[in-house]
Structure 1
């Protein structure tokens, strides 16, 4: 898979963050967070270098294909890469798919500062205003309460009847059961008024 040389990724700024395209310089710190067992606690396994780099390549391709995707997050005060936030297609077999998910993954040193919520709010704004999406969802393993709280802080609503067994997770694995949150465009617009 060849990586687009310069996918069109808009640079967005929040109060404390720059949301920008991934660069080759991000690959090493991205690998570090993808191999951190605490960061990856609610995933099936940590990612090795090949899988981490392949994910960066897919991120760049998604931008080129769809005009939206995941942004690398950089702290404005230090210029440090801290993870990603953005929009991702949910295309696996589930009652609510196909859908667009808002998601995030941050290095552990940057947890607890509100960075995920800050960037996710901007990703929602972009998704509804710039990409014209009708709905954005989010989901995570049942035990990942930290991510539930982010979903709630950014205005998504829990849909217990939509909770599901993630088909990409092996049967019997503790992270297979997932919770589902949704945000229709109309509700987001009402919250901005």
Structure 2
């Protein structure tokens, strides 16, 4: 099913053929630079399963992003429920991850803006959050471009103390 269509992208259900490029994206050290570690194939398959389960449970989740021009899977953008121990949980976050070769082409911003429009009329939440580690200026810039406002910085409870990615920025938007 296609949930959202933009000028250049389709945000759709995941297909089995997405698993291999998804795993390749998740093990790319450049893509995963601002995460604690890259994911191996098994971890990517487990992540894929969690994404599928969220769609079944909530009716929304992280949509597979496909380029219209060549029907290629380039990553994901969408929504995820925040379940770790922070003062803005429970809540819903918008997030994205794209293949490295698709960076700096405006796809993350295009897909995320479309997700926010979709959420406004089709999904049950009114506040959406997004966060990333402080050094990840590219993702923070996407948050700004889609109209989110910085709420604060916070120490991510799932990142070890004294780790360079411990401190995160938090953005929010009201639909």
Same fold by TM (over 0.5)? yes
Q: Does 1:100 align with 2:74?
A: no
One of 6, 22, 26 as aligned partner of 1:34: 26
Counterpart in the other structure of 1:167:
157
Q: How many residues align?
A: 175
Counterpart in the other structure of 2:79:
87
Ranges of 4+ aligned residues in structure 1 off by more than 3 Å: none
Give the C-alpha shift of residue 133 in structure 1.
Answer: 1.1
One of 133, 157, 177 as aligned partner of 2:167: 177
Residue by residue, what CA displacement relative to the aligned partner does 1:53-106 show, whole Å, maximum 9, x if unpaired? Answer: 111111111011001101000000011110000000111101111110000000
RMSD: 1.0
Matches within 5 A, 1:29-178: 29-160=21-152, 163-178=153-168
What TM-score, normalized by structure 1, do the two folds share? 0.88
Comparing 140-149 with 123-132, greater Cα deviation is found at 123-132
Which structure has the highest strand share of the two?
A: 2
What TM-score, normalized by structure 2, do the two folds share? 0.97
Task: Name structure 1 gaps, 5 residues minimum.
Answer: 1-8, 186-193
Give the C-alpha shift of residue 10 in structure 1.
Answer: 4.5
Task: Name structure 2 gaps, 5 residues minimum.
Answer: none
